[in-house]
Amino acid sequence: MWERVFEQIVRSIVKQGTLDVTLPSGRTFRAGSGAPEIAVEIKTESRLADIVRNPDLGMGEGYMDGDILIENDDLRGFMGLILGNMRAGNRHWIQNAQVGLGRQLRRVSQFNPATRARKNVAHHYDLSAELYDIFLDDDRQYSCAYWPSDDITLEEAQLAKKRHIAKKLLIEPGMRVLDIGCGWGGMAITLAEEFGAQVVGVTLSEEQHKLGQERVAARGLQDKVDIRLQDYRDVEGPFDRIVSVGMFEHVGQPHYDEYFGKVREVLDKDGVALIHTIGRTNPPGITSPFIAKYIFPGGYIPALSETSAAIERQSLASTDIEVWRLHYAKTLRSWTDRFEAGIDKARALYDERFCRMWRYYLIASEMSFIAGHQVVFQLQLTREIDAVPITRDYLYG
């Protein structure tokens, strides 16, 4: 039974390109036609059943456990084939039902009060510091880099990202800046060193807090940068500027009004905020079950429609909205290349299953920006409509 249902799912999705499938019984079938041609083998009947019940989670766990084998381990090609077809509208009703149910349950799955938010953050960001050393740049920027050209390094692209954001914030020496979700302190350090800002950075990760403080002390910036282990909801203002990079994805849709309400509360009357977040170009949806279980519990990639609605409800003005399309795909490709080059170190820290999980996460994420519906939004927000220049010339001087 499972083989028949599985075959129906695959044939309903794969129309463009070819997928050759070997089933646990040894039977094979071909779905679609034309290039690219990808071959996979499902080794166990139980894994086949898992995929039928929950295609996203079943595929991810099957790859992690070695129950799904892709010819030449071409995970990037496989993900591109599947996501490209889904973007073209080829889906099975089981997938549509899963999305529909997920939307109904968003208030539960994305409910992130302070205690739950801390637990979710620890799940990912309190992993071994040595793991992040393997694939991140020297500044530990764990968000989309900015690639003004293809012939620059990851380090240069991440610095370009920080400087681009600083220009949008119109930073001046002495300004008080709040960094919501400051990570390991890289943005805060740059704003202090290069632009003379006084920065308060907040994170819920104990590992990020510890290392961030160490980095600040090593630079002699204790009088300019204050890295706190604190929930953004507990911060008191006012601040001249607010920056948040790669944190809004962890807020959860039920908390959007709370988040932007806090931004407005602590932002000075003439202040500027810059929110940098992964977003989706299609309508509001759900988080990948695989990502929610293994990578970012409580996380959600927002649509611009639901984000803008919350901004409007909190009486903030959207003074600039920039959409970065393939920048994150390039960033993730760099991370994957570095992770694969240092995979022996990752195995020593964890095990082969973890390494396969992490590789699946990185490559699936990369392909979601190439063949799926994901982009990056940069939202410049103010309380007063004239708080920033009325042209974008100031960004490119």
Amino acid at 181: G
End of a domain among 47, 75, 104?
104
Mean pLDDT of 267-286: 96
Chain segment 362-383, per-residue pLDDT in tens: 999 999 999 999 999 999 999 9
Is the domain of 113 the same as that of 243? Answer: yes
Tokens of 296: 């970012």
Other beta carbons less than 10 A from residue 228's beta carbon? 17
* The dihedral sign for the CA sequence 281, 283, 286, 288: negative
Is the domain of 243 the same as that of 326? Answer: yes
Q: What local confidence, expressed as pLDDT, does residue 128 receive?
A: 87
Give 127's pLDDT tier (boundaries 50, 70, 90).
confident
What interhelical angle do 55-65 and 45-53 show, nearest 10?
A: 150
Give 92's pLDDT tier (boundaries 50, 70, 90).
low
Mean pLDDT of 197-218: 96
Eight-state DSSP code of residue 174: T
Other beta carbons less than 10 A from residue 102's beta carbon? 18
Is the domain of 257 the same as that of 330? Answer: yes
- Pick from 248, 252, 253, 194: which is nearest to 219 by CA? 194
Give 95's pLDDT tier (boundaries 50, 70, 90).
low
Output the average pLDDT for the chain.
93
Is the domain of 52 the same as that of 197? Answer: no
Mean pLDDT of 83-110: 68
Is the domain of 82 the same as that of 24? Answer: yes
- Residues 322, 379: Cα–Cα separation, whole Å: 7
- Residues 340, 139: Cα–Cα separation, whole Å: 20
Give 143's pLDDT tier (boundaries 50, 70, 90).
very high
Chain segment 287-335, per-residue pLDDT in tens: 899 999 999 888 899 999 999 999 999 999 999 999 999 999 999 999 9
Is the domain of 254 the same as that of 121? Answer: yes
Q: What local confidence, expressed as pLDDT, does residue 328 receive?
A: 98
Provide the CATH number for the domain around residue 361.
Answer: 3.40.50.150
The per-residue b/e assignment along 49-73, b for 16 or more CB within 10 angstroms, e otherwise, is: ebbbebbbbbbbbbbbeebbebeee
Other beta carbons less than 10 A from residue 315's beta carbon? 10
Is the domain of 117 the same as that of 216? Answer: yes
Contact in structure between 240 and 176 (CB atoms under 8 Å): yes
Pairing of strands 267-280, 374-382: antiparallel
Q: What is the extent of the structural domain holding 16?
A: 2-104
Mean pLDDT of 91-112: 61
Is a pLDDT exceeding 80 seen at residue 90? Answer: no
Contact in structure between 248 and 146 (CB atoms under 8 Å): no
Pairing of strands 239-245, 267-280: parallel
Query: In total, how many domains does the chain have?
Result: 2
- Pick from 272, 214, 225: which is nearest to 244 by CA? 272
End of a domain among 88, 104, 120?
104
Tokens of 157: 């692209």
Is the domain of 39 the same as that of 155? Answer: no
Amino acid at 352: E
Is the domain of 100 the same as that of 133? Answer: no
Cβ neighbours of residue 390 closer than 8 Å, sequence gap 6 or more: none
Is the domain of 167 the same as that of 272? Answer: yes
Is a pLDDT exceeding 60 seen at residue 97? Answer: no
Is the domain of 196 the same as that of 93? Answer: no
Is the domain of 307 the same as that of 230? Answer: yes
Mean pLDDT of 49-68: 94
- Pick from 330, 323, 329, 277: which is nearest to 153 by CA? 330
End of a domain among 76, 104, 132?
104
Q: How many residues are there in the chain?
A: 397
Contact in structure between 200 and 235 (CB atoms under 8 Å): yes
Is a pLDDT exceeding 90 seen at residue 19? Answer: yes
Q: What local confidence, expressed as pLDDT, does residue 99 receive?
A: 63
